[in-house]
Amino acid sequence: MSTPETATATPARTAHHRRYLMCKPEHFTVNYSINPWMEPANPTDTAKAVAQWQKLYDLYLELGHEVELIEPLAGYPDMVYTANGGFVIGGRAYVPSFYYAQRQGEAPAFADWFRANGFDTVMPEEINEGEGDFLLAGDVILAGTGFRSAGDSHREVSEVFGREVVTLTLVDPRFYHLDTALTVLDPVIGEANGGPAAANIAYLPHAFDDASRKALEERFPDAILVSDEDGAVFGLNSASDGYNVIISPRAKGFEKQLRERGYNPILIDLSELLLGGGGIKCCTLELRGALSERSETKGGA
Ligand code: ARG
């Protein structure tokens, strides 16, 4: 474990190759409200949403990552938030079962995409919203509940992947998915190296109940604690490759904290997509496994 000395030194960080699934927000709008950010009375600008999303897409490619696309379905304005489209580890995809009727029609499209792309596709029995509420941190799955994914989905996801699950209860309706209140900063290095997992996280303490905060403090003593101010601009809804951390330009304090820890924050503004209650991470589903061999050969070229 790190001593105070090593904790204050700037550790060397390494970027790791990522493969993501995204969905262009061609049909983006806010015409219903299923979270406190969504105000159907406020106008949305689909072209602006697409332009902002495109910057994120282009950045991932610039960083050397691979991005797959799923066809946007008309009538499903929230489909841009692909993090809710599944949870994928080792080529196996656990399909979501959305809490709200407005999004339920997205699930079959994601299931079809996984099957067509060679994933071992597991249909759910329990309500769950994919990587919005499940985050892989080292060898364990951090699982959110309280607003969307049901507690029983935590047992199910544990069985599907044969991994330990840490249940975290969300208590602030603005932070209704785990990925709005917590971000995993480091890659999964435990398994790859045959050693214990060493993942670090950043989170917004007040978004969790006391028991969950305690669990986080015990498991992640070096975590970055993010201010309410940075949390409120969706600073934690970010994507990290282990070195580059894509965050909202409005999360000033978090940007500084990341730099101090040796990460490279890159600012991408998705203000239009925030009108739907989503940000960078919401628009990004990590695809672990299946075709990763192919990507490694490509990356090495
Ligand atoms: N409007 C969407 C919903 O409420 C936003 C989803 C955000 N996704 C996320 N992974 N946090 O379902």
50/15 Cα distance (integer angstroms): 27
5-31: average pLDDT: 84
- Provide residues with CB under 6 Å of ligand 1: 34-35, 38, 78, 81, 83-84, 103, 132, 177, 179-180, 276-278, 282
- Evaluate whether residue 87 is within a structural domain: yes
pLDDT at 198: 66
Residue 193: pLDDT over 70: no
- Evaluate whether residue 4 is within a structural domain: no
Asked if 186 and 242 touch (Cβ cutoff 8 Å), the reply is yes
What pLDDT band is residue 12 in, cutting at 50, 70 and 90? confident
Residue from 177, 204, 236, 285 to probe ligand 1 pocket by mutation (most atoms less than 8 Å from CB): 177
What pLDDT band is residue 199 in, cutting at 50, 70 and 90? confident
- Evaluate whether residue 294 is within a structural domain: no
Instruction: Concatenate the DSSP letters of all residues of 84-145 into one string.
Output: GG-EEETTEEEPPB-SSHHHHTHHHHHHHHHHHTT-EEE--SS-B-GGGTEEEETTEEEEEE
- Domains identified in the chain, total number: 1
Range of the domain at 234: 16-286
Phi, psi of 110 (to 5 degrees): -65, -40
- Evaluate whether residue 127 is within a structural domain: yes
Name the DSSP letter for residue 126: S
- Evaluate whether residue 7 is within a structural domain: no
Residue 26: pLDDT over 90: yes
Q: What is the CATH number of the domain that holds 185?
A: 3.75.10.10
Q: Which residues pair with 246 in a beta bridge?
A: 239, 266
pLDDT at 284: 98
C-alpha of residue 195 to centroid of ligand 1, in Å: 34
CB-CB neighbours of 130 under 10 Å: 31
Asked if 261 and 224 touch (Cβ cutoff 8 Å), the reply is yes
What pLDDT band is residue 38 in, cutting at 50, 70 and 90? very high
Nearest atom, ligand 1, residue 81 CA: 8
31-54: average pLDDT: 97
Q: Which amino acid is at 281?
A: K
Q: What is the pTM of this model?
A: 0.92
Share in percent of the chain as helix, strand, coil (round to 5): 35, 20, 45
- Evaluate whether residue 11 is within a structural domain: no
Q: pLDDT tens digit string along 213-269?
A: 999 999 999 999 999 999 999 999 999 999 999 999 999 999 999 999 999 999 999
Q: What SS3 class is residue 88?
A: strand
Residue from 23, 44, 81, 248 to probe ligand 1 pocket by mutation (most atoms less than 8 Å from CB): 81
- And the tokens for 81? 């938030």
- Evaluate whether residue 298 is within a structural domain: no
Strand 92-94 versus strand 239-240 pairing type: unpaired
pLDDT at 295: 44
Q: What SS3 class is residue 153?
A: helix
Active site residues: 177, 282
- Evaluate whether residue 299 is within a structural domain: no
Phi, psi of 264 (to 5 degrees): -115, 90
- And the tokens for 246? 């894509």
Q: Which residues pair with 141 in a beta bridge?
A: 136, 165
77-101: average pLDDT: 98
Measured CA distances, 261 to 87, 98, 222 (Å): 28, 36, 10
- And the tokens for 100? 């709200």
- Find the range with the poorest average confidence among 7-11, 149-153, 162-166, 196-200: 7-11
Higher pLDDT, 292 or 116: 116
C-alpha of residue 22 to centroid of ligand 1, in Å: 14
27/20 Cα distance (integer angstroms): 20
Q: How far is CA 279 from the centre of its chain?
A: 9
